Each structure stands twice: as C-alpha cells, then as structure tokens.
Amino acid sequence: MQFLTKIKYSIALVFAVVLGFSILNGCDDSGITKTDPVDTNVAHFDSIWVEEDSSAGSFNGINLLNGVNSTGGYALRDASLYGGQDSTGTDFYLRSGLLLDQLDAGYETRWFQVMNNSSQIDFDTLSVITQNIGTALDTSDFTQESTQFWGYFNYPLTEYPIYCFWLKGKRDGGLTNGKNVYGILRPKVSYDNNPGGTYGFKIVYEVKINKAGENYFHHAH
C-alpha cells in the first residue's frame, strides 16, 4: 500500500508540473501557443527628441514617416518644434513642416487632438481612434496645421496629450504609395537647460504610425 501511495503522489506531481508548464507558455486546449498578432503596417518609434531652434544645426524637425529627428532645414521633415519666441523660452508646439518662417519648406502635416491628457497605458493600448472623429477616421478630421490650437508643451510637462496626424504632404508628393499615412503622438518628457531663458528646451515624443492608411495603431512591443 505504501508503494502504491508513492506512485499516486508521483503521478500527481508530474501532472501538476506539465499543467503549470502549459499555462506559463500560454497554450490553449489544442496546445497552440497564443501570440500577440503583429500588424507590419504599424511602426512604433519609442523616443524622438527635438530641441528649441537656436541655430541652423538645431534638431527641431521630425521626419514622422521614418521616426527620426532632423534639422530645421531638412527637406523630408513633417513637423517642426516652434515657440519660445519671448525671452522666457516657453510655450512650444509642433507645426506642419510646410510652414515657413526662417525654415526651408518640408512636408505638410495636419493634426487633431485625441486626448487632452493621457497615461502611458492609454497610449500603449490605443488601437482604434474613436474620439473627435466622424463615423470613421477621415482626412476631414485633421483640422489644424499645428498643435498650438490645443495648448503648449513646456518644462516640466503637466499634461500628456495625444495627437493624431496625417502626412498629407508626403501622400501628395508620392512618398507613401498613395496611402494616407496616419499616426499618433504623445510627449514623454521635457527638459530645459536654461530655465527662464531661451535655447534650452528639449522634448521627447513617442509615435506610432499606420503606413496602410488604416485606423489601427496597436503595436506589439
């Protein structure tokens, strides 16, 4: 009897180990491992930093299609950080790369605000935009040529808005295979190396884009 009892305990232990291994590996009843689907049309850019325009070599532009920062005169930029026009170096916003001041023209980008404040989880889990649009995401939803209409970025950040953008200029210029590339953007952190003065502001954005022109921004990362 003692021998049979040991065998029963051994079988129960093996069964428990196998069951636990299956659970940890995310298997369903058929033994197929569940994986997070990846949409190859969605690109995620974790940290794109830009700085206040202080010289011709300042990295105050963003190429949103490729997820990289650029100088203010870079021809492929989609947006530029603008502001800080008074002596306090405050009140910054993103504006279309097409807008001219002392910058060479880039490409036109249109904007609307999805959320006026958000958490990191809000951004990470935002898959489909339903806020502030019609029955479906459409180019007519992008009413502004900059984010200034909704407020400013400063140091330190007190709000973390989410904006949706449309790369209109690159679609018109034949750089998106005829697709209306949409994206979402959120500030992560800002810095100021010269508080109360000019030419010290820097900010980091997180961006996701859908290159297929779809209202879908989930990225498994």
pTM: 0.82
Q: What is the pLDDT of residue 90?
A: 94
pLDDT by position in tens, the chain (length 221)? 444 444 444 444 444 434 444 434 443 443 443 344 567 999 999 999 999 988 888 999 999 999 999 998 899 999 999 998 888 889 999 999 987 665 678 999 999 999 999 999 999 999 999 999 988 999 999 999 999 999 999 999 999 999 999 999 999 999 999 999 999 999 999 999 999 899 999 999 999 999 999 999 998 76
Q: What are the residues whose beta carbons fall under 8 Å from the beta carbon of 113, sequence distance 6 or more?
A: 132, 147, 149, 150, 161, 162, 163, 164
Distance in angstroms (rounded) separating the CA atoms of residues 183 and 96: 14
Which of 103, 105, 111 lies closest to 53, judged by CA? Answer: 103
Which of 96, 68, 64 lies closest to 82, judged by CA? Answer: 96
Q: What is the pLDDT of residue 48?
A: 98
Q: What are the residues whose beta carbons fall under 8 Å from the beta carbon of 90, sequence distance 6 or more?
A: 83, 84, 152, 154, 201
Residue 177's region, left for phi above 0, alpha for psi from -120 to 50, else beta, is: left
Q: What is the pLDDT of residue 8?
A: 44
Q: What is the pLDDT of residue 102?
A: 58
